[in-house]
């Protein structure tokens, strides 16, 4: 039973990352919906640990790329090097060739480098020197960025942000969790003691199962109304794209699957909507990202069919 | 529950919105509303109030543009006191509509400046609504009504923007327009059925008697040419058959028989309920729609027959003041001064012979001249009268003399001194119709022929769109009447002798080159003329159908619809019935807009309504799952039942292939749920 394994995975993850059950679930839903995740937060709240934990528990190969301003596209996707023995160029795959890639502080790199990764995310393949290389399956990118320090960074353009299915914030742990964290042992060594709860194939099976979760016509109506509300809101510069709509449905399916349900409820959509729309929508006036209050208002403006 | 977490997640909680600051969009709509509301008032407000209102509105606009809020309270208070004092100084008191509306206009400007909260916006919009009504005190024409309607729409948009400050503008306008469209049938029902009140609804005594342009009881050189600059409509006439030829269109106003050397005045006349002549000959039927002129006389085509003899039920009381009166100099009078536009069904017998038998006193009065004036005219009269066998011969000689004198008809006659008739006939030779009529009458009197001046209107223009004759102030005219033995009073128009085109083609045609009337009235530009004619036909229809909808026409219309009786209760009952029917229709329309729902949805909605009585109504966006949990938290006794209902409802609505038996079971469960 994939759900039982999922529960075991969540249980284990909760032991490592304390008090972040909801965020872990969101990240998992994102993986199951075959989307990529953007984590936006200040340093030291456990972004890397979350990525590590997910990779470890899901049994995925893990690569971490620390983005810096001098990082080049070849540093991500790999380079072709002339092989003297065969008298031909041989492609040396870069760190992107992993099942789970953590792109740390993605907004530190130049736009060119950013787009190299983002293209790989979108196409699930890499093209170098005219050759196309498929990325491993499953392929999942967790990118982090620090919203507080924008000096010397290249904020991701809206079109690139659209490639991330969800955006979450971890935030500081609550006092109880923080106390347990301070008193407990090192997370890294704790992590190493855990064996993967899923096989790589299990994840693919889960991804397939999510696709068959039922979506009623009413729910499509509702999602459509929600999308339309974002497009006709005077406060917003632009509405959600059809890609965002598709993403909302697929992540809602994953969420329903994780709840052990065979159909999607409006509550699933409502719960996921802010994470899906938060990084995609911008205010009309100054282009700042929308606040949670605006997203709540949008949700409250759309009646259920 | 997820939503709650999100709310916390979003970090900033929304402030409770008791004090909503005026946003730029709301402010702009409100400013637009005020602007459009005040615009028509410009026509009558004193200039300083207009200037102050404009300044206040601009100030508000500037504040909006700069994104600043209201100026300090103390300043506004001082301004308000100053404005009130100004109104007091201008009108002398605060009573009556003019000072009241002026004060409200200023208060609107001031209120706009201090708008901070939603409550202020509502108060301002109410003030705007009131001022939109108040403009009808001054002017009830079609463009004003259209303007007021636009202003009402804007006011509604302001209110909609207040309710939904972030929505789309076009959506707001659509909502407001829908609201207005829904109000329209009610407006029509009230207009048609609400008991009409006779006379001016808002005619406070002091206002109703304000001066209006038009003819007066005296005539001196320049008094009629002063009217020729006014294109204002004096009256309209619609003829039952074809209209009489231009040369026959003499509309009789005050008859002036006393001359003091410079001015003509009305003499003493008798009034009676029937004419002082027996009408005979060809008869012309027409309806006169007289603009208010605050005088008793009507402008009737010579010579009016007995209106009361009409069997027509619409006649008689149309004017609202009972039967008409006839004077011994053949004027037609209403019992009361005409303070509102009134309709009179009239007839005329142009061929009637009048005044064949006249008393010596009347004839003597018609020969009276003040001594010591116009010596040269008197000499001329003696010359004309010498050797004449009859008054008719003198008349003919006088007409011939006038024709030979080559007098010039002009709007711009030179000023005349003491002997005005002498100077006109022998020196300046330029005059308007009052000069002609006055000179000719004096000449006749000097020759011993009884004569008098008649003022009124001559001509008019047929509007080809609706066939009505429109007579304007510039058609005001003066002519003479001469009494001839055996023929009675005979109309002689000395203007016709010198300027026949004035009578045949109208004022614009008769004026010499270089003198012209205002563009749209005088010019023969076809395009402008056609626009003007169309517009006037439309205005006339508005006047007749809307403004002229008086108690009689209401009774007529309702009788046509099968509602009989003068009883107010019948009207009130019909009105109530109509309003209820309209409400019902609106209700049905609104409920049909709601999506067709099946039995489960209906049961679910009713459950929400039942719970609403405990303050637990389902929010429109709230899912069944979340709602059931919220109710379970509030009413712990229902926890198990509500959870089952919520989960099942969600599964049956959103799950694959709902089972009919399960749906029925859930409906039963919802219906039998007992609230503790």
Q: Which residues, numbered 92 to 121 in chain B, qualify as contacts with chain A under a Cβ-Cβ cut-off of 8 Å?
A: none
Joined tokens for residue A212: 């068959």
Q: What is the domain-level CATH number for residue A120?
A: 3.40.50.300
Number of domains in chain A: 2
DSSP of B195-212: PP-SS-TT--HHHHT---
Per-residue pLDDT at B322: 54
Joined tokens for residue B149: 């309607």
Q: Which of A191, A210, A229 is the last residue in one of the domains?
A: A210
Question: Among candidates A301, A161, A279, A293, which has minimal Cα distance to A230?
Answer: A301
- Tell me the pLDDT tens digit for each residue of A115-147: 888 888 888 888 877 788 888 888 889 998 887
Q: With CB atoms and an 8 Å threshold, state whether A296 touches B595.
A: no
pLDDT band for B2, please (50, 70, 90 cuts): very low
CA quadruple B32, B37, B42, B45: dihedral sign: negative
Strand, helix or coil at B277? Answer: coil
Contacts of A25 in chain B (CB under 8 A): none
Torsion angle of C-alpha atoms B540, B545, B548, B550, degrees rounded to 10 = 170
Q: Are residues A115 and A206 in the same domain?
A: yes
Q: With CB atoms and an 8 Å threshold, state whether B12 touches A299.
A: no
Reply yes or no on whether the pLDDT at B156 is more than 90.
Answer: yes
Contacts of A288 (CB under 8 A, 6+ apart): A282
Q: Residue A263 is nearest to which of B7, B171, B654, comparing CB atoms?
A: B654
Distance CA B628, CA B647 (A): 8
What is the percent of chain A where pLDDT is above 70?
98
The mean pLDDT value for B187-204 works out to 69
**What is the distance of C-alpha A297 from the center of its chain?**
25
Q: Are residues A37 and A85 in the same domain?
A: yes
Is B285 a residue of the active site?
no
Tell me, what's the ipTM? 0.84
Reply yes or no on whether the pLDDT at A236 is more than 80.
Answer: yes
Q: Residue B166 is nearest to which of A22, A235, A291, comparing CB atoms?
A: A235
Strand, helix or coil at B636? Answer: helix
Write the Ramachandran bin of B10: left for phi over 0, alpha for psi from -120 to 50, otherwise beta: alpha
Per-residue pLDDT at B434: 85
Q: Residue A303 is nearest to which of B11, B620, B656, comparing CB atoms?
A: B620
Reply yes or no on whether the pLDDT at B528 is more than 80.
Answer: no
Reply yes or no on whether the pLDDT at B314 is more than 50.
Answer: no
Per-residue pLDDT at B208: 40
Using the Cβ of B16 and the Cβ atoms of chain A, whether some distance falls under 8 Å is answered with: no
The mean pLDDT value for A200-204 works out to 80
Contacts of A214 in chain B (CB under 8 A): 654-656
Question: Which member of B98, B293, B477, B552 is catalytic?
Answer: B477
Contacts of A246 (CB under 8 A, 6+ apart): none
Reply yes or no on whether the pLDDT at B207 is more than 70.
Answer: no
Per-residue pLDDT at B150: 94
What does the H/E/C string look like for B475-524? Answer: HEEEEEEEEECCCEEEEECHHHHHCHHHHHHCHHHHCCCCCCCCHHHHCC
Contact A99, A140 (CB under 8 A): yes
Range of A42-46, A268-272, B258-262, B411-415 with top mean pLDDT: A268-272
Q: Residue B10 is nearest to which of A219, A266, A291, comparing CB atoms?
A: A291
Q: With CB atoms and an 8 Å threshold, state whether A233 touches B168.
A: yes
Q: Which phi and psi (to 5°) does residue A63 adopt?
A: -135, 140
Distance CA B186, CA B192 (A): 10
Q: Which of A183, A210, A237 is the last residue in one of the domains?
A: A210
Q: Residue A234 is nearest to which of B166, B621, B655, comparing CB atoms?
A: B166
How far is CA A126 from each of CA A61, A73, A83, rounded to the nearest angstrom?
A: 18, 11, 21
Q: Are residues A73 and A176 in the same domain?
A: yes
Distance CA B480, CA B489 (A): 10
Q: With CB atoms and an 8 Å threshold, state whether A302 touches B650.
A: no
Strand, helix or coil at B342? Answer: strand
Q: With CB atoms and an 8 Å threshold, state whether A214 touches B595.
A: no
Q: Are residues A126 and A221 in the same domain?
A: no
Contact B33, B151 (CB under 8 A): yes
What is the percent of chain B where pLDDT is above 70?
88
- Closest chain B residue to A264 measured between Cα atoms? B654
Torsion angle of C-alpha atoms B360, B364, B367, B368, degrees rounded to 10 = -170
Strand, helix or coil at A165? Answer: coil
**What's the maximum distance between 2 C-alpha atoms anywhere in chain A?**
68
- Pairing mode, strands A140-145 and A100-104: parallel
Contacts of B17 in chain A (CB under 8 A): none
Using the Cβ of B9 and the Cβ atoms of chain A, whether some distance falls under 8 Å is answered with: yes
Q: With CB atoms and an 8 Å threshold, state whether A266 touches B623.
A: yes
Question: Among candidates B399, B425, B428, B396, which has minimal Cα distance to B412?
Answer: B428
Please list the alpha-helical segments (H only) found in A124-241: 158-161, 175-183, 187-193, 200-211, 217-231
Q: Residue A263 is nearest to which of B2, B620, B656, comparing CB atoms?
A: B656
Chain A residues with CB under 8 Å of a chain B CB are: 22, 169, 171, 214, 216, 218-219, 232-235, 262-267, 270-271, 274, 291-293, 295-297, 299-305
CA distance B4 to chain A (A): 9
Q: Residue A267 is nearest to which of B168, B625, B651, comparing CB atoms?
A: B625
What is the percent of chain B where pLDDT is above 90?
14
- Closest chain B residue to A262 measured between Cα atoms? B655
Contacts of A295 in chain B (CB under 8 A): 6, 10
The mean pLDDT value for B284-296 works out to 85
Joined tokens for residue B186: 């009610």
Contacts of A235 in chain B (CB under 8 A): 166
Per-residue pLDDT at B475: 85
Lowest mean pLDDT among A207-211, B397-401, B409-413, B429-433: B409-413
Q: With CB atoms and an 8 Å threshold, state whether B654 touches A271.
A: no
- Tell me the pLDDT tens digit for each residue of B351-363: 888 888 888 888 8
- B35: number of CA atoms within 13 Å, CB side? 15
Interface A-B, measured as beta-carbon pairs within 8 A, has a size of 88
Strand, helix or coil at B653? Answer: helix
Question: Which member of B302, B475, B493, B552 is catalytic?
Answer: B493
CA distance B164 to chain A (A): 10
Contacts of A41 in chain B (CB under 8 A): none
Top-confidence residue, B490 or B221: B490
Burial A29-57 (b: 16+ CB within 10 A, else e): bbbbbbbbbbbbbeeebbbbbbbbbbbbb
The mean pLDDT value for A87-92 works out to 84
Is B477 a residue of the active site?
yes
Per-residue pLDDT at A148: 64
Structural domain boundaries in chain B: 2-193, 218-510, 552-595, 598-671
CA quadruple B469, B472, B474, B475: dihedral sign: positive
Q: Best residue in B5, B6, B167, B597 to probe A by mutation, most A CBs within 10 Å? A: B6
Contacts of B6 in chain A (CB under 8 A): 271, 274, 292, 295-296
Q: Are residues A93 and A122 in the same domain?
A: yes
Per-residue pLDDT at B20: 46
What's the pTM value of the predicted model, to 2 decimals?
A: 0.50
Contacts of B14 in chain A (CB under 8 A): 293, 296
DSSP of B380-417: HHHHHHTT-SSHHHHHHHHHHHHHHHT-EE-SSPPP--
Per-residue pLDDT at B220: 78
How far is CA A42 from each of CA A158, A171, A172, A186, rounded to the nearest angstrom?
A: 21, 8, 9, 20
Joined tokens for residue B463: 């509007």
Reply yes or no on whether the pLDDT at B69 is more than 80.
Answer: no
Reply yes or no on whether the pLDDT at B273 is more than 90.
Answer: no
pLDDT band for B309, please (50, 70, 90 cuts): very low
Q: What is the domain-level CATH number for residue A217?
A: 1.10.8.80
Distance CA A15, CA A24 (A): 11
Beta-ladder partners of B347? B285
Per-residue pLDDT at B48: 92
Contact B409, B498 (CB under 8 A): yes
DSSP of A132-161: EEEPPSS-EEEEEE-SS--TT--PPPHHHH
Q: With CB atoms and an 8 Å threshold, state whether B11 touches A291.
A: yes
How far is CA A266 from each of CA A181, B393, B616, B669, rounded to the nearest angstrom?
A: 35, 106, 19, 23
In chain B, what is the straight-line distance between the N-terminal and C-terminal CA atoms, in Å? Answer: 24
- Tell me the pLDDT tens digit for each residue of A38-74: 998 887 888 888 888 888 888 888 888 998 888 888 8
Q: Are residues A16 and A38 in the same domain?
A: yes
- Closest chain B residue to A283 measured between Cα atoms? B166
Q: Are residues A184 and A216 in the same domain?
A: no
Question: In the block, which residue shows the tokens 């209700």?
Answer: B587
Q: Are residues A198 and A174 in the same domain?
A: yes
Joined tokens for residue A56: 């470890």
Contact B648, B600 (CB under 8 A): no
Q: Are residues A149 and A37 in the same domain?
A: yes
- Tell me the pLDDT tens digit for each residue of A239-265: 899 989 999 999 999 999 988 888 999
Question: Among candidates B644, B649, B617, which has minimal Cα distance to B630?
Answer: B617
Q: Which of A156, A178, A210 is the last residue in one of the domains?
A: A210
Question: Among candidates B136, B138, B186, B175, which has minimal Cα distance to B29?
Answer: B175
Q: Which phi and psi (to 5°) does residue B481 adopt?
A: -125, 135
CA distance B160 to chain A (A): 14
Top-confidence residue, B665 or B590: B665
Using the Cβ of B163 and the Cβ atoms of chain A, whether some distance falls under 8 Å is answered with: no
Q: With CB atoms and an 8 Å threshold, state whether A216 touches B10.
A: no
Distance CA B205, CA B96 (A): 9
**What's the maximum distance between 2 C-alpha atoms anywhere in chain B?**
127
Contacts of B621 in chain A (CB under 8 A): 270, 299-304
The mean pLDDT value for B578-589 works out to 89
Distance CA A145, CA A142 (A): 10
Per-residue pLDDT at A149: 66
Contacts of B655 in chain A (CB under 8 A): 214, 216, 262-263
Q: With CB atoms and an 8 Å threshold, state whether B7 touches A292.
A: yes
Joined tokens for residue B202: 């808002």
The mean pLDDT value for B147-155 works out to 93
What is the average pLDDT score of chain B?
81
Residue B457 host element (H or E): strand B451-458
Q: Are residues A164 and A64 in the same domain?
A: yes
Residue A40 host element (H or E): strand A37-40
Q: Which phi and psi (to 5°) does residue A129 adopt?
A: 50, 40
Q: Are residues A170 and A239 in the same domain?
A: no
Question: Which member of B433, B435, B475, B552 is catalytic?
Answer: B433
Contact B610, B675 (CB under 8 A): yes
Q: Which residues, numbered 592 to 611 in chain B, qualify as contacts with chain A under a Cβ-Cβ cut-off of 8 Å?
A: 595
Reply yes or no on whether the pLDDT at B204 is more than 70.
Answer: no
Beta-ladder partners of B470? B236, B461
Contacts of A297 in chain B (CB under 8 A): 166
**What is the distance of C-alpha B71 from the center of its chain?**
38
Distance CA B483, CA B444 (A): 10
- Tell me the pLDDT tens digit for each residue of B458-467: 888 888 777 8
Is B493 a residue of the active site?
yes
Q: Residue A300 is nearest to which of B12, B621, B653, comparing CB atoms?
A: B621
Range of the domain at A253: 212-305
Distance CA A57, CA A50 (A): 10
Per-residue pLDDT at B517: 56
Contact B448, B363 (CB under 8 A): no
Task: Give the total residue count for chain A.
Answer: 305
In chain A, what is the straight-line distance between the N-terminal and C-terminal CA atoms, in Å? Answer: 34
Distance CA B596, CA B581 (A): 23
Question: Among candidates B281, B77, B651, B148, which has minimal Cα distance to A262?
Answer: B651
Q: Are residues A224 and A148 in the same domain?
A: no
Question: Among candidates B160, B197, B525, which has minimal Cα distance to B340?
Answer: B197
């Amino acid at each position: 039973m994939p759900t039982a394994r999922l529960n075991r995975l969540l249980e284990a993850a909760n032991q490592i990352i304390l008090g972040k059950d909801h965020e872990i679930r969101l990240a998992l839903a994102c993986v199951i919906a075959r989307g990529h995740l953007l984590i936006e937060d200040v340093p030291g709240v456990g972004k890397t640990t979350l990525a590590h934990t997910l990779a470890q528990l899901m049994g995925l190969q893990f690569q971490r790329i620390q983005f810096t301003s001098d990082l080049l596209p070849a540093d991500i996707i790999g380079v072709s090097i002339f092989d003297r023995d065969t008298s031909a160029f041989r492609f040396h795959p870069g760190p992107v060739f992993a099942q789970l890639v953590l792109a740390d502080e993605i907004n530190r790199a130049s736009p060119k480098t950013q787009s190299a990764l983002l293209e790989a995310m979108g196409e699930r393949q890499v093209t170098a020197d005219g050759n196309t290389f498929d990325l491993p399956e499953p392929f999942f990118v967790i990118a982090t960025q620090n919203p507080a320090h924008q000096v010397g960074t290249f904020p991701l353009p809206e079109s690139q942000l659209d490639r991330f299915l969800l955006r979450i914030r971890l935030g500081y742990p609550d006092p109880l969790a923080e106390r347990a964290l301070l008193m407990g042992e090192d997370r890294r060594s704790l992590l190493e003691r855990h064996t993967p709860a899923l096989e790589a194939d299990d994840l693919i099976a889960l991804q397939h199962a999510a696709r068959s979760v039922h979506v009623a016509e009413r729910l499509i109506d509702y999602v459509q109304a929600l999308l339309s509300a974002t497009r006709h809101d005077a406060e917003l510069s632009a509405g959600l794209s059809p890609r965002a709509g598709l993403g909302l449905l697929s992540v809602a399916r994953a969420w329903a699957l994780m709840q052990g349900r065979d159909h999607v409820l409006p509550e699933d959509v409502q719960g996921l909507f802010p994470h899906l729309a938060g990084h995609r929508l911008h205010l009309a006036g100054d282009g700042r990202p929308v606040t949670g209050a605006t997203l709540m208002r949008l949700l409250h403006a759309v009646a259920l069919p | 529950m997820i939503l709650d977490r999100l709310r916390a997640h979003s970090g900033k909680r929304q402030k409770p919105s008791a004090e909503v600051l005026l946003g730029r969009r709301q402010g702009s709509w409100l400013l637009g509303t005020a602007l459009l509301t005040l615009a028509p008032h410009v026509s009558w407000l004193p200039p300083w109030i207009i200037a102050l209102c404009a300044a206040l509105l601009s100030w508000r606009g500037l504040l909006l543009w700069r994104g600043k809020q209201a100026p300090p309270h103390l300043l506004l208070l001082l301004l308000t006191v100053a404005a009130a004092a100004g109104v007091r100084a201008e009108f002398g008191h605060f009573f009556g509509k003019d000072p009241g509306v002026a004060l409200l206009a200023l208060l609107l400007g001031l209120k706009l400046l201090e708008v901070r909260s939603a409550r202020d916006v509502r108060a301002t919009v109410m003030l705007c609504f009131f001022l939109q009504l108040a403009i009808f005190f001054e002017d009830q024409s079609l463009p004003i009504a259209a303007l007021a309607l636009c202003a009402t729409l804007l006011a509604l948009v302001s209110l909609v923007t207040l309710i939904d400050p972030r929505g789309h503008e076009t959506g707001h306008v659509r909502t407001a327009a829908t609201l207005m469209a829904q109000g329209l049938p009610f407006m029509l029902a009230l207009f048609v059925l609400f008991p009409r009140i006779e006379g001016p609804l808002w005619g406070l005594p002091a206002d109703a008697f304000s001066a209006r342009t038009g003819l007066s009881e005296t005539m001196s050189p320049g008094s009629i040419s002063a009217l020729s600059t006014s294109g204002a409509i004096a009256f309209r006439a619609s003829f039952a058959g074809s209209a009489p030829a231009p040369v026959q269109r003499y509309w009789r106003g005050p008859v002036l028989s006393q001359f003091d050397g410079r001015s003509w005045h009305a003499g003493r006349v008798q009034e009676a309920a029937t004419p002082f002549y027996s009408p005979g000959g060809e008869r012309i039927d027409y309806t006169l729609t007289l603009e208010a002129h605050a005088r008793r006389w009507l402008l009737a085509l010579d010579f009016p027959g007995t209106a009361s003899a009409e069997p027509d039920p619409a006649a008689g009381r149309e004017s609202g003041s009972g039967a008409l009166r006839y004077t011994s100099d053949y004027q037609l009078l209403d019992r009361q001064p005409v303070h509102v536009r009134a309709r009179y069904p009239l007839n005329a017998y142009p061929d009637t012979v009048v005044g064949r038998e006249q008393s010596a006193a009347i004839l003597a009065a018609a020969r009276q001249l003040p001594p010591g004036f116009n010596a040269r005219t008197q000499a001329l009269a003696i010359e004309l009268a010498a050797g004449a066998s009859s008054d008719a011969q003198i008349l003919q000689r006088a007409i011939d003399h006038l024709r030979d004198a080559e007098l010039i008809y002009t709007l711009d006659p030179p000023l005349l001194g003491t002997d005005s008739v002498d100077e006109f006939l022998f020196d300046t030779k330029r005059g308007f119709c009052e000069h002609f009529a006055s000179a000719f009458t004096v000449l006749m009197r000097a020759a011993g022929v009884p004569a008098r001046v008649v003022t009124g209107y001559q001509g008019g223009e047929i509007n080809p769109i609706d066939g009505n004759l429109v007579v304007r102030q510039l058609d005001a005219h003066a002519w003479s009447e001469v009494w001839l033995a055996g023929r009675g009073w005979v109309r002689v128009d000395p203007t016709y002798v010198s300027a026949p085109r004035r009578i045949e083609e109208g004022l614009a045609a008769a004026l010499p080159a270089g003198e012209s009337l205002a563009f749209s009235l005088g010019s023969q530009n076809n395009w402008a003329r056609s626009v003007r004619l169309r517009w006037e036909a439309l205005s006339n229809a508005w006047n007749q159908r809307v403004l002229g909808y008086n108690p009689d026409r209401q009774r007529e219309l309702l009788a046509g619809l099968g509602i009989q009786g003068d009883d107010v209760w019948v009207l009130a009952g019909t009105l109530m019935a109509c309003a209820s029917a309209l409400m019902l229709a609106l209700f049905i329309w609104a409920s049909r807009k709601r999506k067709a729902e099946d039995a489960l949805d209906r049961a679910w909605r009713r459950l929400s309504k039942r719970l609403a009585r405990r303050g637990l109504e389902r929010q429109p966006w709230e899912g069944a799952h979340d709602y059931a949990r919220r109710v379970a938290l509030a009413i712990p006794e229902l926890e198990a039942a509500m959870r089952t209902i919520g989960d099942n409802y969600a599964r049956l609505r959103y799950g694959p292939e709902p089972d009919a038996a399960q749906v029925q079971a859930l409906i039963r469960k919802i219906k039998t749920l007992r609230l503790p």
